[in-house]
Amino acid sequence: MSSLIELRGVSKVYEGNEGRAALDDVSLAVEAGELTAIMGPSGSGKSTLLNLVAGLDRPTKGQVTVDGVDVATLSEARLARFRCERFGFVFQFFNLLPNLTVLDNVLLPAELLGTRGREAATKARDLLAQLGIADREREHPGRLSGGERQRVAIARALINRPAVILADEPTGALDSRSGDRVMDLIERLNQGGQTIVLVTHDAKVAGRYAGRIVSLRDGHIEDDARLTSGSGAASDLFRVGSSGAER
């Protein structure tokens, strides 16, 4: 069975980087329903990997396939639509549009997809209610707390029922309590079957919530371990790196 996301021999070299690869010959497969954490120090290639998966960038070498589609074969316009249909995004700094209300922000991806107004609005309100911020729908993001903003961002990410949620340091701008609440939310989504790829530098977060941890260093996969149980204990890690399975 093919994976939901597949990277095969992917390299990415940026211009002016003295030939150094941000990602170097990376192969990775993410299955549907997984919560995969991508970890690594600054400059390890985490964001690059996320951007390549999302089609925001194109690999210098190799192939990126999402839901069976090679993203490199899509034009910019089709890629934008593909991204809108298949992915939901949660950013470290929320990236809500300040000029729009909470509800309008959540509706954005649905509007880009052409979902009818009433249907989209109903979905958006449902999501906001599920996330406990239905009463804030008419507010602008500037009046919300960090945790509330991130919940809006999560609602926005879910409105089109995407195949994959890409979360880039979703708790990075939050205090620990808000961060825990957001991660609990993400975990619940995953338990409901949502595939999530999470970029984080926080080992505790990765260990506690992720079912699989991929560690990057200098553009390579240093480690790739699946947790055998939900406990997240380091001893329960089942490694699936390039060195093969081992216990």
Partner 1 sequence: MRAVARKALADIRRRRLQALIVASLATLATVVTALAVTLLTTSSSPYRAAFERQNGGHVVAVFDPRFASADQVAATARGPAVEAHGGPWPVANLPFQARAGKVQLQVVARDDPGGVDALRIARGRWLRRDGEIVLTQSLAEAERVAIGDDVVDVGAAQGVPLRVVGLAFDVDTGPYPNFMVQPAWVSAEQFRTLAPPGPGGTGYLMVYRLRSAGSAAAIRQGMASIRSGLPDGAVTASISYLAIEQFFDLNGSLILTFLVAFGVIALAAAAAVVANVAAGAVLAGYREIGLTRAIGFSPAQSVLGLMLTILAPALAGAVVGTPLGLLLSVPLVQQSFHALGLPAPGVSPLGALAGLLVVLVVALGAVLPAARAGRLSPVRAISVGSAPPSGRTSRLVPLLRRAGLPRWISLGAGDAYARPLRGALTTVAVLVGVATLTFAFGFARSLDRYIGDTGLTVGRGDVVVQRLGDYPDAAVRRTLDDQPETRLVVSYRSDNLDVSGLSDPVPVQSWRGPSDRLGFHVLQGRWFSRPGEVVAGPAFLKLTRLRVGDSFDASLAGHRSRLLVVGSYFTTNGLGVTLAMDWSTLQGFDPTLEPEAYQVILERGSDVSSYVGRVAASSPSQLEVADLRQVVAQQLAPTRSSVDAILVVLVAVLALIAGLGVFNAVLLTTRERVRDTAVLRTLGMGPGRTVAMVAASGGLIGLLGGALGAPAGVLAYLGVLGLVGNLLGSPFAGSSLDAYSAVSLATLAATGVLVAAMAALLPARWAASSRAAEILRAE
The residues binding partner 1 (CB under 8 A) are 47, 51, 54, 56-57, 76-81, 83-85, 89, 91, 93, 95, 97-100, 104, 107-109, 111-113, 140, 156
Residue 198 CB, nearest approach to partner 1 (Å)? 16
Cβ proximity to partner 1: between 139 and 202 the closer is 139
Residue 181 CB, nearest approach to partner 1 (Å)? 23
Cβ proximity to partner 1: between 57 and 137 the closer is 57
Cβ proximity to partner 1: between 22 and 131 the closer is 22
Residue 99 CB, nearest approach to partner 1 (Å)? 5
Cβ proximity to partner 1: between 80 and 134 the closer is 80
Q: Are 45 and 93 in contact (CB under 8 A)?
A: no
SS3 readout for 33-95? CCEEEEECCCCCCHHHHHHHHHCCCCCCEEEEEECCEEHHHCCHHHHHHHHHHHEEEECCCCC
User: Which residues, in sequence order, are CB contacts of 127 under 8 Å at separation 6+?
Assistant: 106, 155, 158, 159
The strands making up 61-66's β-sheet, listed across from edge to edge, are 21-30, 5-13, 61-66, 69-70
- Rounded distance between C-alpha atoms, residue 247 and residue 245, angstroms: 7
Residue 133 CB, nearest approach to partner 1 (Å)? 19
Cβ proximity to partner 1: between 35 and 54 the closer is 54
- Rounded distance between C-alpha atoms, residue 241 and residue 62, angstroms: 19
The CA-based angle 25-242-2, given to 5 degrees, is 80
- Give the pairing type, strands 195-199 and 212-217: unpaired
Residue 75 CB, nearest approach to partner 1 (Å)? 9
Residue 51 CB, nearest approach to partner 1 (Å)? 4
For residue 11, the surrounding DSSP H or E stretch is strand 5-13
Cβ proximity to partner 1: between 97 and 234 the closer is 97
Cβ proximity to partner 1: between 143 and 204 the closer is 143
Residue 141 CB, nearest approach to partner 1 (Å)? 10
- Rounded distance between C-alpha atoms, residue 45 and residue 59, angstroms: 12
SS3 readout for 93-111? CCCCCCCCCHHHHHHHHHH
